[in-house]
């Protein structure tokens, strides 16, 4: 009950529309980290990740949190001025390495999130609304990210948890 109440209060603060420049930057940050980590089939589209992931030639290759952080940090060096001010990134981890990236809005962008998606698709921010398919999906990712000790947050000491 308390969790549901907190989620409703969290959602109540969401602005009706995200400024276009902020929406674009959130999407670009997710995309940059996706490509760097080789997520969402980017390697099959000619993008070389900065980490060595498991594959047919090395099926037991795991990627550490430390290597994932270094790789994602290098992808974010190119300038994302809103990172840590308007949104934070969460890289959800599994035992074998990174599995997805999500941008969660904070401050004036609170209540919005951009989720990792396949090449050729737009990863536009969506309202974190439990009544829509994508809104429910990003709320589930937020719950997982906040509950897991292995989630990597960018900037490192920032979290977007209700």
76 burial level (CB within 10 Å; 0-12, 13-18, 19+): middle
The pLDDT assigned to 63 comes to 84
Out of 49-53, 115-119, 127-131, which region has the weakest mean confidence (pLDDT)?
49-53
- Mean pLDDT, residues 69-98: 94
d(CA 56, CA 112): 37
- Mean pLDDT, residues 38-63: 73
Express each pLDDT in 141-154 by its tens digit: 999 999 999 999 99
Reported confidence tier of residue 20, pLDDT bands at 50, 70, 90: very high
């Amino acid at each position: 009950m308390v969790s549901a109440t907190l989620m409703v209060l969290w959602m109540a603060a969401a602005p009706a529309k995200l400024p276009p420049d902020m929406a674009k930057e959130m999407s670009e940050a997710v995309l940059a980290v996706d490509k760097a980590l080789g997520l969402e089939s980017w390697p099959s589209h000619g993008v070389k990740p900065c980490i060595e992931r498991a594959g047919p030639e090395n099926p037991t290759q795991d990627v550490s949190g430390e290597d994932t952080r270094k790789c994602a940090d290098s992808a974010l060096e190119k300038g994302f001025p809103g990172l840590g001010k308007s949104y934070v990134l969460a890289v959800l981890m599994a035992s074998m390495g990174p599995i997805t990236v999500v941008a969660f809005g904070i401050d004036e962008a609170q209540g919005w999130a951009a989720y990792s998606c396949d090449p050729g698709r737009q990863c536009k921010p969506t309202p974190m609304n439990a009544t829509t398919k994508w809104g429910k999906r990003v709320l589930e990712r937020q719950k997982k990210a906040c509950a897991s000790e292995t989630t990597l947050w960018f900037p490192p000491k920032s979290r977007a948890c209700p």
